[in-house]
Structure 1
Amino acid sequence: MSARAWLGAAALILVLLALARPLDHDESQYVAAAVLTAHGNLPYRDFAYLQVPLQPMLFAPLAWLLGDWAWPGLRVVNALLGTAAIAFVYRAAREGGAAAGPALLGAGLFACTDILLFSIGTARNDALPVALLAAALPLVIRTANDRGTCWSALLAGALLAAAAAAKISYALPAAAYGIYVLFDRRHRPLWVAAGSLPIILFVAASFSWNPHGFMFGVFEFPAFAPGDYYRDRPWKMSWLAKLLDTLKFLALGPALIGLLLTSRVRWRGKWGRARSGRAIDWMLWAGIIAALLPFPTWRQYLLPILPPLFVRLAIGWHASPPGRRTRIALVVFACAGLAPSVEALARAVLGVPMIEAIRQGKAIRAAMDTGAVTGPVATLSPQFLPATGRLPDTRFATGPFYFRSRHLLGLKIEAVDRFISRDTLAAHFARPPAAILIGGESKWTSGDAVLDQALEDWAKRNGWRSIPVTGGRFRLYIPPSLHSP
């Protein structure tokens, strides 16, 4: 099978997996951000966003075009971005002198990691930055082989800066390459810097929309929210838990054995001098540091490690193919990496989660039509709202993630930055939403039903009227002043 046919088959499988994978409350803020931006809102200024700002700006036109289908559509987009990342790993290995066989092996093993498959199977913010990082690697390698141009250096700088502007953890591999080019002038540091400049200016502009909201969402919330959330489970924030989680996630696929093998790989063949591969090494080590910095560790945090790792292995295997025992170990670990996705596909035989989400969306829309709901909706599950034709209340744009926190911000700052927590719900609901939607933050979306209960309790205490929603998973509440037609 040719590389193109192999990648085409991979794209089809990844799209099917994206539709079959269980629903995840992690998707809430990313779908909400894309949809709100599509309707003219800006991150930090008009709604809270707990990441760097590039993804909602790039995905807003897609969310506008997809309309009611924004949530499943964004899952498909992420699956295609994951396919692109796999293709760029293959292309980078080929640029480094690997034959088609080793290059396909490296790309295939990358595709068999649960880290990648989970990250690109949901509407999160992982697929875009890993695709941008992987797209930069062929350009970096081409320059290392003395075949780069000013334009390739310009594009490499833009891609790496864009990856960092889509997810902050990718700033470390990007910075590592930026530092490396200062020592290896073949990489044209001025052109790399020029490529990154427009992205830096964009991020600076987004900072100006609301400096405090930007700093809190990008830096402070990731630093303090985990400790706040796990305060009754401090072991989750320990180094021992980090070690066990890291090993577990790496072992679900060939990443763990790849890291063990990479020290044995030497830059040979078309790489010429040993220093030719050092840029990839710098990015790999920076990715490892970026993965280990946050507490606790989740599988998607390890994603920046994988593209440079499998490119490096593929190039090394061209000169020294893996032995029989190594190949057996790689197959075993690859099967382990595929197992969670195979399980998701098997479960989808009984019911495709995304089809269920679409069905629920239609039921919610009918209930909102019955209740004459036209304004923004308060819900911890804003990913369900595109199918209803309604927008989320901007104070709930982060889904459950700020709502579940305690005492991270004062009441006045919450009002300015458009945050709301369960402790300050009553104070902020002096300006109530048009409706309250309950039911999407629960076990069936990997969520916590206690958080939804806090919203429902407020609605009941204040006499809001319940509108039936077909299917039994959701409850819709409207203000007592509204009457059914």
Structure 2
Amino acid sequence: MRAACWAALTLLFALLSLARPVDHDESQYVAATVLAAKGLLPYRDFAYLQTPLQPLLLAPVAWIAGAWTWPALRLVNAALGAVAVAGVHRAARESAGPGAALIAAALFAGCDVLLFSIGTARNDALPAALLASALPLVVRAEQERGTRTHAVLIGLLLAGAAAAKISYALPAAAYGLSSLARRRHHPPHVALGASLPAALVAWTYLLAPEGFVFGVLDFPVRAPLDWYADRPVKLSLAVKLLDAFKFLALGASLPALLLVARRLRPSALTVLLAAGLVAALLPTPTWRQYLLPALPPLFVLLAIRLHERPPGPAWRIALAVFAAAGLAPTVAALAGQGLFLAQAMRQSAAVRATLDRLAIRGPVATLSPQFLPAAGRLPTPEFATGPFYFRSDRLLGEVAERRLRLISRSRPRLPGSAVLVGGEGRHTSGSDLLDAQLAQVARQAGWREVPVPGTRFRVFTPPAYAAPRPVPHSNP
């Protein structure tokens, strides 16, 4: 029966992921995974704006899935979401009764932060699943039932989460440091487990130190300040706190946090929760997926709270109301007017037909590289970050941009055998301005514009394609 429940949850998450509208955040993660599947390495061969584990780990998915890489990556994230919920449930069962564990896991599964993060081909589901999978072992260590093998696994999982997304480095480091004061957590073995993901990260750094530092450390700090320079209110502390409150309120996270805070005791779970909240609030601005590192330990702590002292009717009503609110954004997204994945795949097929007709076989420059796998083409490495570096304005000098294979709108270039526009815009939560700028650059360079029938896409081909040489023939 338990296996059937988890299978049903995985299927539900999978269906939601396939039905969720397209988000331009998916662009860089699909592109990086596809390029890694071709043997290219992040930072050395293409820019990547996160720690390196996800594209390297999921490259075989892209290699197998081929044209279906984008939906395949969404399905993988859906399955990882179910793993995260299972980790919370298992940890809650280890520390509370089965009833409280089931309630806490169900409330976690209904949070908008989780549903959005695992419904797109982003890099949120993998680190969340790794963190949540470590929690049952953390609970056992707290109860002095942990072994050295458990400690190795905890280090491997938490460091693996940090190797997939930089914001998980703070919870991982906080747990590692706190374990030094709790010998029952076997800190040397935690460090041993963490050494493998750390070695992977160090290896990619040594391959391309400049690209690594820029993508992992420099860009996340400076790029938002650049993009929101004309909207400074978005960078204010007041808006940050308001956004965090709003995202926590879309689901049971907010009442859960208030309940847990009333009876908070020092523990490894408390350390992970506090570090997750700090990690969520450090970036500016704060987006909903940034809160995900805090939610797994929060809902395990909620299960403990429910088990030790069940809340009164008012709190139970609040949990139910906020849980219902957490489902609202997903329902609204599914009922909205945006571009959906099935439509996107059909449009990619139309793009493929147009590129085939134009005899364009090489990599394509585009701000929406997530559309290219189904079009049978690779993205140019210079546009592997989708719109996210292109929209920046002189974060790097011209020489550094060329060295790191990056292109900004202030110094546009046209690499590749064609340019594809039409996938970046408000219909994908992006900006119409960026595709318009790229199209204008192509027009000014004399590239020929070819509409893709039945879609909003347009292909630009170099002048050589605009005026092909005639085929020689002999007169009789």
TM range (shorter): over 0.9
Does the CA contact (< 8 Å) of 2:269 and 2:297 recur in 1? yes
Do residues 4 (structure 1) and 3 (structure 2) align?
A: yes
Tell me the percent identity.
59
- Within 5 Å, which residues of 2 pair with 1:27-426? 27-96=26-95, 98-265=96-263, 278-347=267-336, 353-425=340-412
Do residues 446 (structure 1) and 394 (structure 2) align?
A: no
Match of 2:464 in 1: 481
Instruction: Work out the CA distance in 1 between the residues paired with 2:338 and 2:252.
Output: 30
Instruction: Work out the CA distance in 2 between the residues paired with 1:222 and 1:444.
Output: 24
Q: CA deviation at 1:339?
A: 0.7
Match of 2:474 in 1: none
Unaligned 5+ runs, structure 1: 267-273
Letter in 2 for 1:325: A
SS in 1 for 2:395: coil
Does the CA contact (< 8 Å) of 1:20 and 1:352 recur in 2? no
Instruction: Work out the CA distance in 1 between the residues paired with 2:88 and 2:154.
Output: 15
Q: CA deviation at 1:352?
A: 7.7
Q: Deviations over 1:92-143 (max 9, x none)?
A: 01111x2211101000010111011011100001000000000000011111
Q: CA deviation at 1:322?
A: 2.2
Instruction: Work out the CA distance in 1 between the residues paired with 2:338 and 2:114.
Output: 24
Deviates more, 1:21-30 or 1:322-331: 322-331
SS in 2 for 1:163: helix
Match of 1:13 in 2: 12
- The count of corresponding residues between Structure 1 and Structure 2 is 468
Does the CA contact (< 8 Å) of 2:87 and 2:133 recur in 1? yes
SS in 1 for 2:350: helix
Unaligned 5+ runs, structure 2: 472-476
Does the CA contact (< 8 Å) of 1:17 and 1:344 recur in 2? no
Instruction: Work out the CA distance in 2 between the residues paired with 1:314 and 1:4.
Output: 21
SS in 2 for 1:193: helix
Does the CA contact (< 8 Å) of 2:348 and 2:371 recur in 1? yes
Instruction: Work out the CA distance in 1 between the residues paired with 2:57 and 2:112.
Output: 26
| TM-score after normalising by structure 2 | 0.96
Letter in 2 for 1:467: V
Letter in 2 for 1:286: A
Letter in 1 for 2:35: L
Q: CA deviation at 1:22?
A: 1.1
Does the CA contact (< 8 Å) of 2:365 and 2:419 recur in 1? yes
Instruction: Work out the CA distance in 1 between the residues paired with 2:297 and 2:441.
Output: 50
SS in 1 for 2:180: helix
Q: Deviations over 1:39-79 (max 9, x none)?
A: 01000000000101010000101111111001111011101
Does the CA contact (< 8 Å) of 2:338 and 2:427 recur in 1? no
SS in 2 for 1:41: coil
Q: CA deviation at 1:316?
A: 2.1
Q: Deviations over 1:176-229 (max 9, x none)?
A: 110111000001011100000111111100001210110010011111110100
Instruction: Work out the CA distance in 2 between the residues paired with 1:221 and 1:412.
Output: 17
SS in 1 for 2:459: strand
SS in 2 for 1:226: helix
Q: Deviations over 1:385-434 (max 9, x none)?
A: 00011100100000000000011000000011111001111xx44xx320
Instruction: Work out the CA distance in 2 between the residues paired with 1:5 and 1:250.
Output: 30
Deviates more, 1:155-164 or 1:13-22: 13-22
Letter in 2 for 1:75: R
| TM-score after normalising by structure 1 | 0.94
